[in-house]
Amino acid sequence: MKTPAALALALLFSLPALPAAEPKGVVIASYNVENYVGISPVTEGGRTPAKPKTEAAIAALIRVIKEVNPDILGVCEMGSPERFEDFKKRLAAAGLGYVDAEYLQAADPDRHLALVSRFPIVARNSQADVPFELNGQPEKVRRGFLDVTIQVAPDYQLRMVGAHLKSKLAVAQGEAVIRRHEAQQLRRHLEKILVPNPGTNLVCYGDFNDTKDTPMFAEISGIRGTPTYLDDIPAKDDFGDRWTHCWKAADLYSRIDYLFASPALVREVVAGSGRVDRSNVWSAASDHRAVSATIIPVNKK
């Protein structure tokens, strides 16, 4: 006759095995928040200063972010450090729970790159001073490149590189020419990361102010089939539309905001997870729409 302990052990081994827990997805997002600035900012080319964001626009912006609910959010067109503090406080009040952040002040005095994360940032390599030469004259990448490494799990790090390339506002040197030079500098920065460490889990994100059929896109992506090639993560809204920016003056809708994934990361992007937000309040929040995707951190490199 079996003892109670033996019966319990037999029962345990007769039970079906429990399925392994699914890895937790991490939502990453890029969002140009359109002039989250203070009073009387100076715009490119000395034009009329942009108006500070209204309370109604800020409320819509926070609502969009809460709906997207990203674990890591990179933003463009953040204002002063004081405005970034205001932004973070509003996110906290909305219950979004970000624990770490990066803020980059570069050559542009008014519009900056920033990032918030639900995971700790363990390395900061942001580039505020990125020079290049144009027609024999010294220039700088106006918004620099935000670059942080985030500890998503004890054995998993994710590198986030953010950019906001030259706008389409006309300048004497040629806005498209400047944008391509900035893209070249970004590609060099990416290669400094990926050539010695091709297994890096890396996302390059931001507002690139150009479409896929331009030299900018080719510069950022690199050469297909090489260890440093970056894949554009496809994204669309619930209606299948892919545009991320509305230029209201021209009635022009374009896809100019992107998430690019390194070779090591691209296999961890959840198929079909790329999203372009279509909140009911998107146009009240910004002239851009947030772009997001989900990754499953399984690559331990």
Q: Which residue has the tokens 């997002």?
A: 29
d(CA 37, CA 47) in angstroms, rounded, equals 16
pLDDT for 211: 95
Q: What is the DSSP letter of 236?
A: B
pTM greater than the 0.95 cutoff: no
pLDDT for 154: 95
pLDDT for 13: 40
Beta strands in 131-284 (DSSP E): 131-134, 137-140, 146-153, 156-164, 202-207, 231-232, 245-247, 252-254, 257-261, 275-276
Across the chain, what does the average pLDDT equal? 89
Residues pairing with 115 in the sheet? 74, 102
222-231 mean pLDDT: 95
Q: Which residue has the higher pLDDT, 16 or 268?
A: 268
pLDDT for 168: 76
**In this structure, which amino acid lies at residue 89?**
K
Q: How many CB atoms lie within 10 A of CB 154?
A: 5
What would be the CATH architecture of the domain defined by 23-295?
A: 4-Layer Sandwich (3.60)
pLDDT tops 70 at residue 41 = no
51-69 mean pLDDT: 95
pLDDT for 3: 53
Q: Which residues touch 189 (CB under 8 Å, ≥6 apart)?
A: 127, 130, 145, 147, 161
d(CA 278, CA 56) in angstroms, rounded, equals 18
CB distance 202 to 163 below 8 Å: no
For the chain, the domains span 23-295
Q: Which residues touch 133 (CB under 8 Å, ≥6 apart)?
A: 139
pLDDT for 169: 76
Element (H, E) at 29: strand 26-36
pLDDT for 75: 98
User: Phi/psi of residue 216, each to 5°?
Assistant: -55, -50
CB distance 49 to 41 below 8 Å: yes
What is the separation, in whole angstroms, between the first and last Cα of the chain? Answer: 53
pLDDT for 7: 47
pLDDT for 49: 60
d(CA 12, CA 10) in angstroms, rounded, equals 5
Element (H, E) at 181: helix 175-194
- When mean pLDDT is compared over 44-58, 90-104, 133-147, the highest value belongs to 90-104
231-246 mean pLDDT: 97
Q: What is the DSSP letter of 9?
A: H
Least-confidence region, from 12-21, 31-40, 170-179, 183-192: 12-21
SS3 (DSSP) at 59: helix
pLDDT for 51: 76
What percentage of the chain has pLDDT greater than the value 90?
79
CB distance 19 to 2 below 8 Å: no
Q: Which residue has the higher pLDDT, 130 or 1?
A: 130
pLDDT for 300: 63
pLDDT tops 60 at residue 44 = no
pLDDT for 236: 98
pLDDT for 23: 59
- When mean pLDDT is compared over 8-12, 136-140, 237-241, the highest value belongs to 237-241
pLDDT for 197: 97
Q: Which residue has the tokens 């390194």?
A: 262
What percentage of the chain has pLDDT greater than the value 70?
86
Number of residues that this document lists for the chain: 301
Residue 39's pLDDT band (boundaries 50, 70, 90)?
low
pLDDT digits (tens, 9 = 90+) for 168-221: 776 757 788 999 999 999 999 999 999 999 999 999 999 999 999 999 999 999
d(CA 12, CA 20) in angstroms, rounded, equals 17
Residue 256's pLDDT band (boundaries 50, 70, 90)?
very high
